[in-house]
Amino acid sequence: MEIWHRVGFGKLDNVDSKLDTWGIKYKKIIGLQDYYIILFDIVETNPRWKDVSDLIQKYNASDIYQTVFNKKEILAAEWLRLIPIFQQGYPQPEETWVSNPITYTSHCPQCGTFQQGSSFRIKKEPGLGKNDFMSMFWMYALFCTPKVLKELETHQIQGYEIWNVIIHNTDLPAQKVSQLYIPAIAQEGLSQVDDLKRQYCYTCQTTKYFPHMKGIMYLKKEVVNLNFDIMQTYEWFGDGHAAYREILISNRLAKLILDQNWKGIALKPVELI
């Protein structure tokens, strides 16, 4: 497990020479009137991480981090989070989606929690490139190709429904992707999150956690249903007016994903305690 940070300083922070001395390579993004931003990726095991971390604090620099797990760690985990990383397009109708997401039946405008009541609508058949999974912007739903569906069926993966995705103008189902709809919700049991910020929504009475970016996610043992290979967390996550539930998958499904070398998603171990 490695925690990677994408760090951004401004020209006025004047950190260039320090970074040069420390041997840290960075990109300069040139802006207006000679202004520039310095961007680089650094892993916490880098001997200079402590120094960089102090600089981030000092200048209140931008720091977006994520945890990356290797194949061995993924295969050793009983359960994992499946994270859609390839996003394409916006849910339709796009112009009114934020105020009126018609696919949801009980949407909280305050924090963004929802129930999905009907199929998502997309503008056109997506261009997937080499990806087997995708999601769209503004959401966390999981879409996949017919090839993936066939393998899931062959391996008797349990716990999903196949929902059509509708091309908005024609009202016809997309051919390149379907939604892997996940009806099963785990029980409440997110653990060891004392340092994870959260907000309580008085409109829908839901606690929403900030995105869980650092390290392993811990859940109580009894929260997952072992009859399923794919579930959603009870807990909601997200920032601002958007909300999502994390997708949990079994070791069996994770192994299939690695064997097939499917792209468009990331896997992160969950520890059941």
Residue with Cβ nearer Zn ion (111 or 265): 111
Answer for the pair 179, 143: CB distance below 8 angstroms, yes or no: yes
Cα-only R_g, the chain: 21
Residues 188-227: x where in contact with Zn ion by CB under 5 A, - otherwise, as a string: -------------x-xx-----------------------
Residue with Cβ nearer Zn ion (118 or 207): 207
43: part of which helix (H) or strand (E)? strand 36-43
What is the C-alpha to C-alpha distance for residues 226 and 222, in angstroms, rounded to an integer? 9
105-144 positions binding Zn ion, by CB under 5 A: 108, 110-111
* Shortest reach from residue 199's CB to Zn ion, in Å: 9
49: part of which helix (H) or strand (E)? helix 49-59
Residue with Cβ nearer Zn ion (144 or 243): 243
* Shortest reach from residue 209's CB to Zn ion, in Å: 13
* Shortest reach from residue 110's CB to Zn ion, in Å: 4
Residue with Cβ nearer Zn ion (53 or 110): 110
* Shortest reach from residue 107's CB to Zn ion, in Å: 9
Answer for the pair 75, 258: CB distance below 8 angstroms, yes or no: yes
- b (16+ CB within 10 A) / e for 108-117: beebbbbebe
Q: Which residues contribute to the site for Zn ion (CB under 5 A)?
A: 108, 110-111, 201, 203-204
